Amino acid sequence: MNKDSEQHSSFFETLKRDYSENLILDTETLPDYARDASEINVRPSAIFFAENESEIIDVLKQCRAENIPIVFRGAGTGYTGGAVPVSGGLVLSLERMRKLEIDSKNRMARCGPGIITIELMKEAEKFGLFYPPDPASYDESVLGGNIAENAGGLHCKKYGVTKDYVIGLRAITVEGEIIKTGYYSRNDIFNLTSVLIGSEGLLAAITEIAVRLINLPVIGPTILASYSKPDEAASVVSEIIRLGIVPSVMEYMDGDAINCSNRYEKSIDIEKAEAILLLETTGENCRGEAKMIENICRQYNPVSLMFESDPVLAENLWKIRRNLSKAVKASVKYKIAEDVCVPPSKLPELVEFVSQLNNEYPIRINSYGHAGDGNLHVNFLTDNKEDLKNGLIKKGIVRLFRKTIELGGTLSGEHGIGLTKKDYLELEFNDDTIERMKDIKAVFDPNNLLNPGKMFPGKK
């Protein structure tokens, strides 16, 4: 144990006297809290389960006085290592803060950061209301994590992402100050709500979230179209967008991803396909739009085309997509997941590039994603631990990122930067922009105690 860790451990022993129930010191008993979905493992010195703002203020002030690094945590489903602990530091979990109030008259909700995304959606539905941002992890991830990552989801093309629904936040800074933005101050002069959304736990703990809700839309049939070539499916996407049709869901999956999903749970019989599109329309003209989509799908020689209007049976089509992330993970020991995003018109080129990369590389590479937004999750898959160290995967990722930038896209469609993408930030932002972002971090957290070592590349 080094000197710092020794000092930290005596600090945590003292803190334990005040918080005997909420503070865990034998952190090896909770191994899930040493990682997120990136699977990077770092054991924290302590884990604190906050139940209210007063506790957070007190714990942050005490940590700040002792220079203890802190990592906020939601459900730990992040893919880029944002919730991975810092050695010798505290993990501050907000999952027990579970307020959920629907204000149906004002079509909004006030939520604690520990509410699981689907819980808000289901509660809103009881009032005929809809909270659209639905990451594929919606039955696990919590709202605090969704805000901190500005999560997207299956409905993002038509309805937008998390930031489009947040109308105000309460947050606690490392100094223990309470920030009230938007709805909680009735105004937002510097738009602090936007500053905190997507801040990946670097600026403050988000302790309450006000979101707007919309009317539950009429839902059209679920459509599943399969193709023998990935670029045929991608061309359907481009054509739908070119014609100005906006499906509520337009998900793309390649052949390897489909096989993984089928092996994980065979919810429908599907003929051998190298790509699938899963589509849904909503709104008054949902049936008309579904018909137009059917015509476009037929122009590109589908292997099969399915329609399902019964929501219970449609669930079998949805399962192929909803299961995907877990299914791909179950098919292999190591899954390095990237999420790039290009203008939708460039999706066929990106899909073709990934398919070429897969042919060239000695490891499996598959892809799927929210095609309506040009968002593609590209997974590098291997059973051999050596591949993680020998630079093979890293080279592939750099090639993917360069191609994405060349196509006018972004390195992170929705999963954030965290640990895994920080070294590539300079591919996307110029030095001046990165420096100003660092300045914002320094204003909120001058001693760099909140999620240190994340988001920004190290010194050259």
Ligand X SMILES: Cc1cc2nc3c(=O)[nH]c(=O)nc-3n(C[C@H](O)[C@H](O)[C@H](O)COP(=O)(O)OP(=O)(O)OC[C@H]3O[C@@H](n4cnc5c(N)ncnc54)[C@H](O)[C@@H]3O)c2cc1C
Binding site for ligand X (CB under 6 A): 36-37, 71-79, 82-83, 94, 113, 135-137, 141-142, 144-146, 148-149, 151-153, 200-201, 205-206, 325-326, 414-415, 451
CB of 431 to ligand X, least distance (A): 24
Residue 294: CB minimum distance to ligand X, A: 26
Residue 18 structure tokens: 């005040």
With respect to ligand X, which residue has the nearer C-beta, 238 or 325?
A: 325
Shortest separation between residue 176's beta carbon and ligand X, angstroms? 15
- Please, which residue, 174 or 296, has the CB nearer to ligand X? 174
Structural contact between residues 237 and 268, judged by C-beta atoms closer than 8 angstroms: no
CA distance linking residue 444 with residue 403, whole number of Å: 35
Choose between 172 and 297: whose C-beta lies nearer to ligand X.
Answer: 172
Strands 375-382 and 364-370: antiparallel
The alpha carbon of residue 80 and the mean position of all alpha carbons in its chain are separated, in whole angstroms, by 9
Q: How far is the CB of 299 from ligand X (least distance, A)?
A: 29
Q: Rank residues 82 and 302 by Cβ distance to ligand X and give the closer one.
A: 82
Say how far apart CA 199 and CA 411 lie, in whole Å: 16
Bridge-partner residues for 182, per DSSP?
A: 187
Question: Which stretches within 309-369 are classed as H helix?
Answer: 311-322, 324-330, 347-360
- Identify which of residues 137 and 261 has a Cβ nearer to ligand X in the complex: 137
CB of 147 to ligand X, least distance (A): 7
Give min distance, CB of 13 to ligand X, in A. 25
Cβ partners under 8 Å of residue 396, min gap 6: 357, 361, 365, 380
Report d(CA 303, CA 275) in Å as an integer. Answer: 10
Could you tell me the smallest distance in angstroms from the CB atom of residue 210 to ligand X? 14
Longest dimension (CA), the chain: 69
One-letter amino acid for residue 276 of the chain: I
Q: Which of 107, 326 has the CB closer to ligand X? A: 326
Q: How far is residue 457's CA from residue 411's CA, in Å, rounded to a whole number? A: 14
> Would the CA dihedral through 437, 417, 144, 20 be positive or negative?
negative
Of all residues in the shown chain, the one whose CB is closest to ligand X is 145
How are beta strands 178-180 and 214-215 bridged, if at all? unpaired
For ligand X, the closer CB: 77 or 420: 77
- Nearest approach in angstroms of CB 406 to ligand X is 24
Q: Distance between CA atoms of 367 and 351, rounded to whole angstroms?
A: 8
Nearest to 420 by CA among 381, 386, 373, 454: 454
Q: 44 or 152, CB closer to ligand X? A: 152
